[in-house]
Amino acid sequence: MFHKEGYKIILITTILVGIGYIIIENFISINWLNKLLSIALLIFYIIIIQFFRNPKRTTTISDHHIIAPVDGKVVVIEEVFEKEYFNDKRIQVSIFMSPVNVHVTRYPISGIIKFSKYHPGKYLVAWHPKASEENERTTVVVENKKSGEILYRQIAGALAKRIVNYAKPSMNIIQGEDAGFIKFGSRVDLFLPLNTKIKVNLNDKVKGGEQIIATLG
């Protein structure tokens, strides 16, 4: 199953790879070079289609749990001052996605979208300390009565050139549902209340839409 954001790219890639094979078969007479180019095209095609895979995830919905919004590796767990929306201290949990991870973004809690804003910016590597404030990014705040307000931020990396964000102010959303997509390498930051109990450690690999990364209160 592929994500809808990849349909156009997969179609174009399929056409180009098909044309590539026709050219190789008709114009490359050197046997070893023919095989090498064919294998290279196949590898390229597999990389593209696997990037847009969208595996089904089963979310156990709970207002007391914050689930991982994406697949990837936990690279930051620290207390920070969040200055775009809260203007106070929060616990930041950052998840880095390599190009081989699933890049679907999923809502970490259920609730109402209170804030959603796109910021153009740079394309620093996603693990750079300033990526959260200087890279192209979207900031989304979800609120419900039990969890309060939770902020997550989609951040473009050095390869990512487009962030897709489905969250719009006043939308009612459900934990684990599709919240967007980041194309070709990225990171997602979560900003949580200080009384949050973190359930993951640095360098843990997490599974978006299913794994609990924190509990509230």
Q: Under CATH, which architecture does the 65-215 domain have? A: Distorted Sandwich (2.70)
Distances (CA, A) of 185 to 8, 37, 198, 209: 18, 26, 25, 18
Q: What is the pLDDT of residue 162?
A: 76
Q: Which amino acid is at 40?
A: A
Write out pLDDT tens, residues 103-134.
899 999 999 999 999 998 776 665 566 666 77
What single-letter DSSP state applies at residue 155? Answer: E
DSSP per-residue letters across 57-86:
------TTEEE-SSSEEEEEEEEEEETTTT
What single-letter DSSP state applies at residue 122? Answer: B
Q: Higher confidence at residue 200 or residue 147?
A: 200
SS3 (DSSP) at 40: helix
**Annotated catalytic sites, by residue?**
186
> E strands of the chain, at which residues?
65-67, 72-82, 88-97, 104-106, 111-119, 137-144, 148-156, 163-165, 172-173, 178-182, 186-192, 197-198, 205-206, 212-215
Residues near 132 by Cβ (< 8 Å), separated by ≥ 6?
92, 94, 153, 155, 187, 189
Considering the entire predicted model, what is its pTM? 0.86
Write out pLDDT tens, residues 145-169.
888 899 999 988 766 567 899 999 9
Domain ranges of the chain: 4-51, 65-215
Mean pLDDT of all residues belonging to the chain = 89
Would you mind telling me the total number of residues written for the chain in this entry?
217
Site of tokens 């997490």: 206
